[in-house]
Amino acid sequence: MQVLAAASEIAEYVPVLVMLLFALGFAALNLVASWILGQKAPTNPVKDAAYECGMPPISDAHQRFSVKFYLVAILFVLFDIEVVFLYPWAVHFNKMPQFLFFEMLVFIGILFLGWWYVIRKGAVNWARD
């Protein structure tokens, strides 16, 4: 009996395996089709150059950005992820025990401490540079 139960449990995963094989086959088919039907080599390098309004480019298109932009992007991601935790809590707020309210207050307090640290360090102070 245990063999039949194990076989039926494995049989439940067959559709997932079929879907995985279908997805891999579709991806491989697309790669082969693009390799066969795609352009082999650029025909004219001038046509592949970036369009600059008819004027020759003055400088290199790759410019260095200030680290501030990356810092602000990372801070945005860090503080935006909190919504993932706050939204479900807010939706089920009335149905939750009271201790979860205090746990969320601790979580928000930690977020405010992090924000206070960022402000104190001047990470978002653009006038400093």
- pTM of structure: 0.46
C-alpha 128/C-alpha 116 separation (Å) is 18
Report residue 93 as tokens. 């707020």
Residues with Cβ within 8 Å of 29's Cβ and at least 6 positions away in sequence, in order, are none
Report residue 85 as tokens. 């935790």
Digit-coded pLDDT (tens) for 20-75: 999 999 999 999 999 999 877 767 777 766 766 766 667 776 777 777 788 888 88
The domain segmentation of the chain, as residue ranges, is 2-48, 67-128
